[in-house]
Copies of this chain bind each other. A is one copy, B any other.
Amino acid sequence: MAVDREQRLWDWERTAQPYLLVASLLFLTSYAVRVLVPGLSPGWETWWELVTIVSWGIFVAEYLARLAFSSDRRRFLRTRWLDLIVTVLPLLRPLRIIDMHERMRRRRNHPQLVLEARVMVYTGVTSLLLGFAASLAVYHDERTAPGANIHSFGDSVWWACSTLTTTGYGDATPVTSRGRVVAVALMFVGVALVGAVVGSFSSWLLRRFRQDGET
């Protein structure tokens, strides 16, 4: 019985995946438009706000549905904690990519890329999307703050790049509390990015040695 419900949960997640991906893109697009396009007419303003709210609503509804559907709710909360985070903060949804693909991979039998290449691709895509989301969020908070040194979206992207690579020039930094919370999150993403690049390099080197040693 529980196994059956678990199976139906899997089926549901497989079916819902593409729709959630579309909702994610709609959420990011509507947020980006509202932050980046100045002087939006009231009609369009309302429209894009609606898109933001509806796509967010879809995330919440889907999460609650899965929670209700689950045979063991405590286990669901514990093993799917990433789902809860990305439901509350949809800008972090790019983090789902890793999780999503892992579970996909186990069911279908896709031909695999080399593990290091896959880690690099995931890290690259996740960094790109989170960097973009962080640039949007910081620009949104900073552009009207007094004493801010991030005045345009270009400044915000520049700041995000220098943070992700842990370079940290400091010529453009957030000054508001919310901007700084986003910045701290992005710094740790940056440490993970460096970690993935370095780890892949050292793993690749060692495997090459082993192969050379065998032949």
A188 within 8 A of B: yes
A208 contacts the other chain (CB 8 A): yes
Tell me whether A207 is interfacial, beta carbon within 8 Å. yes
Stretch binding the partner chain, chosen from A49-57, A80-88, A161-169? A161-169
Give CA–CA (A194, B165) in the complex, Å.
11
Instruction: Find chain B residues with CB under 8 A from A187 CB.
Output: 161-162, 165, 167
| Residues of chain B within 8 A of A171, CB atoms compared | 170, 173
A76 and B152 CA atoms in complex are apart in Å by 40
Q: A197: nearest residue on chain B (CB-CB)? A: B195
User: Is there a chain B Cβ closer than 8 Å to A212's Cβ?
Assistant: yes
- In the complex, the answer to whether B167 meets A163 with C-beta atoms within 8 Å is yes
Cβ-based interface call for A205 (8 A): yes
Q: Encode A103-128 as 1/0 by CB contact (under 8 A) with B.
A: 00000000000011001000000000
